[in-house]
Structure 1
């Protein structure tokens, strides 16, 4: 099936009637899906309607009726779960899962993974952190059992994702894992408990910090003030670091969650396809006078002209930052304003740089009220890291060139509404 413009997929109705283009497109989609091995083995195909989302296998007529009534799931322009570009995209035909898709996109196909060749044929030894990450990947790529299409890593990541998505208790995951282990062949590497599953995916984890803060937002108990028990500004007037629960246990009064961005940028260069895409802005000349990418902007060009040593390394990262408050408990819950601070690398091509996997949560500022003039207090860890990335940089392994290099980063833009802009500017 040719990759034509598939706008017809999301232009289903004309008034109350199905559009002719849509019915013709559905017919073509089903004819294409019939060529996939799933249909040849079971006479059924995955249903890509907005409700089923490629999870259940249904007969052709049921799929047709579902698409007529509900339409296609969002952004399913490439029929990867029905065999389109299966060999070139190297995407598993298991049900789509955002967490697992990100792993597969980053690290490639499980069987015969080209990353293994990169590890064996490196021109330069990866730094210890990346080397440990590669070794973890190689160890976890063995199949779940002989003949299985799933690796130990992919199975563990799917179970972990399901637990988070549906908030399953640990004991429930233990029972599910035990049941799966009994169903599949005896000679298997299936984790029997959630504890064992977490150990498999632990190497994928990225660091985070919990930093205690003054309940009034005056200061952070961080760095040279990490040993204090009371706020050095407001003292005992509500600035105590800990509070007692109803059971008499001391817990932090307010906690700031900080997710360092340097390891997340390093992870982009540890994945083969993304490492190449991070240089897209310098390798793809565009029509003069057009604005098709942030690198076409005057701000980007001004930075390159002013700091030529920074611009000489195309792998250095230009960042954007945005923040705003939201109610964590929804419209009908109690008033609680939580402020996430999100950092985005703009080196990536336009169709990737605003995707969810590349919008890095760097700070989660707790409520219950908005930080107002104290936003800069909570921003301290991020600003400190951004200064370090600009002045010093961090040693990073580029898997596409098989070399270590000094990665630097610059914050180009902040994006926010006017109230948040007033807080960011102090």
Structure 2
């Protein structure tokens, strides 16, 4: 909490709430010049994509020009260490790479979407509709082929690299099909369930004969870390 408040302090003189979705109510007793982010009684429209970038890297919008503090670190209360200079440089590099993508237009003359906002919207559709990565790769290839001047990656792998930097990633964890345990931590290397002795992997009958003989978990959960 101390580190968070030191890096992102409360805005001085912030007595009228306008930064949390509230609508502005005209009040003749308040001068617009005293309200942050107000120009001629009109609230400046914020960029949601820039807000996402700032949130991912813990950058306060009032200090957006400063180098972002290293975030998304696994912190052990008994062995806490401040991020190294290398970690901070890497985070700063990723931050400015995303900022540049936000400024890149999707195509010449396009004002509705930037390269980054288009990828975020496309990824949102993927999640809502349950599209596979293969389907997304084919869609990107089609768009790239149809619109040669579109500023988008040619593969879903490249697109995911930008999405992952925003913290919109997850961890896959193998699970027992009976929902009684996760193969996680000290149980990560187990091959069978410690409660029912069922296999961690799908049986040969479950796997298509056309696929390569690769072990496939019987069940997988997707874990979204809450701290980042």
TM-score by length of structure 2 reads: 0.51
Question: Is 1:222–2:184 an aligned residue pair?
Answer: yes
Deviations 1:153-211 (A, max 9, x none): 123223333455564833233212332334x6xxxx44344444334433224342222
Computed over aligned residues only, the root mean square deviation of the Cα atoms, in angstroms, reads 3.8
Pick one of 63, 80, 86 that aligns with 1:118. 63
Distance in 1 between residues matched to 2:143 and 2:160, nearest whole Å: 15
Choose 1 or 2 for highest CA Rg. Answer: 1
Deviation of residue 262 (structure 1)?
0.9
Distance verdict in 2 for CA 1:180–1:200, change over 3 Å: farther
Pick one of 84, 89, 114 that aligns with 1:151. 114
Distance in 1 between residues matched to 2:128 and 2:180, nearest whole Å: 35
Distance in 2 between residues matched to 1:194 and 1:215, nearest whole Å: 30
Deviation of residue 139 (structure 1)?
2.8
Deviation of residue 138 (structure 1)?
2.2
Distance in 1 between residues matched to 2:69 and 2:24, nearest whole Å: 39
Q: 1:24-103 maps to which residues of 2 (within 5 A)?
A: 88-90=44-46, 103=49
- Any conservation in 2 of the 1:177–1:194 contact (CA below 8 Å)? no
Question: Is 1:259–2:224 an aligned residue pair?
Answer: yes
Pick one of 149, 162, 178 that aligns with 2:145. 178
TM-score by length of structure 1 reads: 0.30
Deviation of residue 228 (structure 1)?
1.4
Distance verdict in 2 for CA 1:261–1:3, change over 3 Å: closer
Deviation of residue 87 (structure 1)?
6.0
Residue in 1 that maps onto 2:80: none
Deviation of residue 140 (structure 1)?
1.3
Distance in 2 between residues matched to 1:221 and 1:136, nearest whole Å: 36
Distance in 2 between residues matched to 1:241 and 1:255, nearest whole Å: 10
Higher relative contact order (CA 8 A, sep 6+): 2
- Any conservation in 2 of the 1:181–1:192 contact (CA below 8 Å)? no
What residue ranges of structure 1 are gaps of 5+ in the alignment? 5-84, 92-100, 109-113, 264-426
Deviations 1:374-416 (A, max 9, x none): xxxxxxxxxxxxxxxxxxxxxxxxxxxxxxxxxxxxxxxxxxx
Residue in 2 that maps onto 1:131: 92
Residue in 1 that maps onto 2:13: none
- Any conservation in 1 of the 2:163–2:169 contact (CA below 8 Å)? no
Distance in 2 between residues matched to 1:193 and 1:214, nearest whole Å: 33
Distance in 2 between residues matched to 1:174 and 1:152, nearest whole Å: 15
Residue in 2 that maps onto 1:296: none
- Any conservation in 2 of the 1:212–1:254 contact (CA below 8 Å)? yes
Distance in 1 between residues matched to 2:181 and 2:127, nearest whole Å: 33
- Any conservation in 2 of the 1:212–1:256 contact (CA below 8 Å)? yes
Distance in 1 between residues matched to 2:122 and 2:42, nearest whole Å: 24
Distance verdict in 2 for CA 1:211–1:230, change over 3 Å: same
- Any conservation in 1 of the 2:173–2:183 contact (CA below 8 Å)? yes
- Any conservation in 2 of the 1:211–1:220 contact (CA below 8 Å)? yes
Residue in 2 that maps onto 1:203: 165
Pick one of 191, 198, 202 that aligns with 1:243. 202
- Any conservation in 2 of the 1:214–1:241 contact (CA below 8 Å)? yes
Distance in 1 between residues matched to 2:217 and 2:165, nearest whole Å: 29
Deviations 1:42-97 (A, max 9, x none): xxxxxxxxxxxxxxxxxxxxxxxxxxxxxxxxxxxxxxxxxxx9861235xxxxxx
